[in-house]
């Protein structure tokens, strides 16, 4: 299955994490996710999600059993096809390079967020869902419409 065939929304990691953590705005993100058959995101978001879960564990937001449970739930959701993990290809890398070559000096974009934007464009998305202000501010440089439902 490809993301565009299923007409899935593209979520960055800030939205994906809200499917599991009760961070600000999680209700609206979950409502949006529930209105679609699945969610598309870049392959690298899997590592970012695990790191976010561990950060919540480190900060005491999870007890041991709850932390292990959320890891198991994420793995089960991934295995069951809730997510369409889009591969990072040479074409995605070239889009990323093109952005940084032509970006104005005032642009602030972290590498992981740039990967999300380049990946979304490469796979034909017109919109990306996030509440990361830097990603949203740079979305138009990639020809994307950044949307925050929070």
Mean local confidence (pLDDT), 88-100: 96
110-123: pLDDT as tens digits? 999 999 999 999 99
Total domains in the fold of the chain: 1
92/80 Cα distance (integer angstroms): 26
pLDDT computed for residue 81 by the predictor: 97
Q: For residue 73, how many other CB atoms are within 10 A of its CB?
A: 12
User: Is a pLDDT exceeding 80 seen at residue 133?
Assistant: yes
Structural contact between residues 41 and 10, judged by C-beta atoms closer than 8 angstroms: yes
53-87: pLDDT as tens digits? 999 999 999 999 999 999 999 999 999 999 999 99
CATH of the domain at 37: 3.40.50.1010
Domain boundaries, position 47: 3-147
- Cα torsion angle, 30, 41, 122, 7, sign: negative
Would you place residue 1 in the very low, low, confident or very high pLDDT band (cuts 50, 70, 90)? very low
Q: What pairing do the DSSP bridges indicate for beta strands 127-129 and 145-147? A: parallel
pLDDT computed for residue 3 by the predictor: 52
Percent of the chain past pLDDT 90, that is, above it, reads 95
Would you place residue 7 in the very low, low, confident or very high pLDDT band (cuts 50, 70, 90)? confident
């Amino acid at each position: 299955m490809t993301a565009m065939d299923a007409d899935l929304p593209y979520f960055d990691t800030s939205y994906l994490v809200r499917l599991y953590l009760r961070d600000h705005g999680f209700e609206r993100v979950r409502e949006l996710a529930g209105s679609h058959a699945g969610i598309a995101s870049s392959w690298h978001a899997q590592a970012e999600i695990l790191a976010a879960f561990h950060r919540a564990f480190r900060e005491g937001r999870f007890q041991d059993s709850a932390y292990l449970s959320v890891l198991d739930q994420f793995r089960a959701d991934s295995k069951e096809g809730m997510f369409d993990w889009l591969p990072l290809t040479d074409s995605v890398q070239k889009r990323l390079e093109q952005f940084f070559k032509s970006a104005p000096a005032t642009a602030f974009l972290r590498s992981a967020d740039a990967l999300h934007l380049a990946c979304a464009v490469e796979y034909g998305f017109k919109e990306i869902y996030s509440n990361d202000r830097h990603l949203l501010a740079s979305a138009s440089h990639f020809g994307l419409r950044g949307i925050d439902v929070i």
